[in-house]
Amino acid sequence: MSHHLKRLRLAKGLTQEQAAELADFHRTYVSQLERCVTNISIDGLERLAHALDVDVIELLAPVEADPGL
């Protein structure tokens, strides 16, 4: 989820602070999520998805492997 969170946040042109404010989180929590340092609840996933204007599934989708690896 951390990869998708950062990618989607940046695609929306949001800072961690802005994304956190939209989801009613603290900025450090968004940072921890992006670094896989902490876990998130289902409620939190829904709040993040709403803040980023995406479906929850977009945050949880598997990361595709780089075929060049």
SS3 (DSSP) at 65: coil
Band (67; pLDDT cuts 50, 70, 90): low
Q: Which of 7-11, 17-21, 62-66 has the lowest mean pLDDT?
A: 62-66
For residue 45, what pLDDT is reported?
96
Rounded to whole angstroms, the Cα distance separating 38 from 28 reads 11
Return the higher-pLDDT residue of 60 and 67. 60
Tens-digit pLDDT profile for residues 36-57: 999 999 999 999 999 999 999 9
Residues spanned by the domain of 15: 2-60
As for how many domains the chain has, the answer is 1
The CB density around residue 4, as the number of other CB atoms within 10 Å, is: 19
Q: Is residue 65 part of a domain?
A: no
Query: Does some domain include residue 35?
Result: yes
